[in-house]
Structure 1
Amino acid sequence: MNVAIKVFNLQIEGAFRSFDIECEAMRNILHRNLVKIITCCSNVDFKALVLDFMSNGSLEKWLHSENHFLDILQRINIMVDVASALEYLHAGHPTPIIHCDLKPSNILLDEDMVAHVGDFGIAKLLGEGELMKQTMTLATIGYMAPANCISSIMELALNCSSELLEERKDMKDVVATLKKIKQNFLNKIEQV
């Protein structure tokens, strides 16, 4: 078994809190698209997490390097993986978790190019009362125009980044929409 070790620099302000939050957020979480914490090491002057090793590194490496390339199907699969992880964090776990630092460097890819969301150092764990006001939005799965794959993804991205929360889709609908986009893409490939 290959593992990665995340050692916290305790000289940096907030490192103790970041370690505690990450341990609390991830201790009972099991989802195929979240980086698994195997164990942790903690004493007064040393804190570290032992994590599953992700052999393909971060999504950032794949997006911003001339040596790596993601085709459209891989990109869609990564979007579905990340959206599935967020849906689970927001609505599929007894204590909703808001990641607060989702970016390509915090999305890791395993040997099969399956995306795993990691680095929960500034995550926010919500109580039940906070669930509705902070993670739920009013949206329904709507008609997806038979446009090409890229414009469908862009349309979804614009919806997800709307300034008004009530205009955004919730994560369950985002996952469903991404799966529809992927299926439409695969259907078009088969027709060619």
Structure 2
Amino acid sequence: MRNVRHRNLVPVITTCSSDYIRAFVRKYMSNGSLENWLYREARHLNLLQRLTVMLDAAMAIEYLHHRNDTAIVHCDIKPANVLLDEDMVAHVGDFGISKILAVSKSMTQTETLGTLGYIAPEYGSEGIVSASGDVYSYGIMLMEVLTKRRPTYEKMCNENLDLRRWITQSFSGSMMDVVDANIFSEEEQITSKSEMCIASMIELALDCTKEPPECRISMKEVVKRLNKINNTFLETKK
């Protein structure tokens, strides 16, 4: 992991190992985690910031899957593992349960599970680890960033819904009903272009979280589509 370098990955400085602990020493990120920015009352991210953070995270995961010498599956993509530096640039961190895929294999098996709510169905039931499992987790995180609803949100669980089903059902009404109210400031006007941006991001998240792994898009496609969404949104801000 010390040899893996990308601007959107938390750099691993060194490792510590003893009879009691094995740990990565990582660079300090002064603005904390994406999870804190979503759920602490004093902190708010607007739509452009959320889009930028998710694009940063997507580029990091795409690098691990497709641009590193050997494919690495993170296995625990969630807001707590996306850290923000002093310039609010997002970095994916915490590689404690990451898996390196052999060149000849696109998947492997493990008994080490990620975090409840973010785990792909095939990962939780069979321990199958593949790049598409990270794509699923990323899609859940994207939904959470837009809605400010954890995948273990009590109201959804009581209704026997997961985050994907809850969003899909809510989509039949007003899309803005599912979006975090703090995504726009009181002074900011909600435009049709903003709504189109959110709709495109939710559609992307749904494509990431399809149940059959083979039906999910790749992180290359995620980055491509997010770049397009970002460029379109920035054009409307000029």
TM-score normalised by length of structure 2: 0.62
Aligned pairs for 1:20-59 within 5 A: 26-59=1-34
1:66 shift after superposition: 0.9
1:99 matched to 2:147: no
1:44 shift after superposition: 2.8
Aligned pairs for 1:1-192 within 5 A: 26-131=1-106, 134-135=130-131, 148-190=196-238
- Counterpart secondary structure, 2:37: helix
Contact kept, 8 Å, 2:15 with 2:25, in 1: the verdict is yes
List alignment gaps of at least 5 residues for structure 2: 109-129, 133-192
Contact kept, 8 Å, 2:31 with 2:86, in 1: the verdict is yes
Greater RCO (Cα-Cα under 8 Å, separation 6 or more): 1
Identity %: 53
Could you tell me how far apart the structure 2 residues matched to 1:175 and 1:163 are? 21
List structure 1 segments (4+ residues) > 4 angstroms apart after TM superposition: none
Could you tell me how far apart the structure 1 residues matched to 2:213 and 2:53 are? 24
Contact kept, 8 Å, 2:71 with 2:102, in 1: the verdict is yes
Could you tell me how far apart the structure 1 residues matched to 2:30 and 2:101 are? 32
Q: State the Cα RMSD in Å.
A: 2.0
Q: Which amino acid aligns with 1:153?
A: M
Could you tell me how far apart the structure 2 residues matched to 1:121 and 1:81 are? 20
Could you tell me how far apart the structure 1 residues matched to 2:107 and 2:218 are? 11
1:68 shift after superposition: 0.4
List alignment gaps of at least 5 residues for structure 1: 1-25, 137-145
1:27 shift after superposition: 2.5
Q: Which amino acid aligns with 1:152?
A: S
Q: May I ask how many residue pairs the two structures share in their alignment?
A: 157
1:48 shift after superposition: 3.9
Distance 1:30 1:99, change over 3 A: same
Could you list the per-position Cα deviations for residues 105-158 of structure 1 after superposition, in whole angstroms to 9, with x for gaps in the alignment?
Answer: 11100011111111111111100122379337xxxxxxxxx8710000000000
Contact kept, 8 Å, 2:101 with 2:107, in 1: the verdict is no
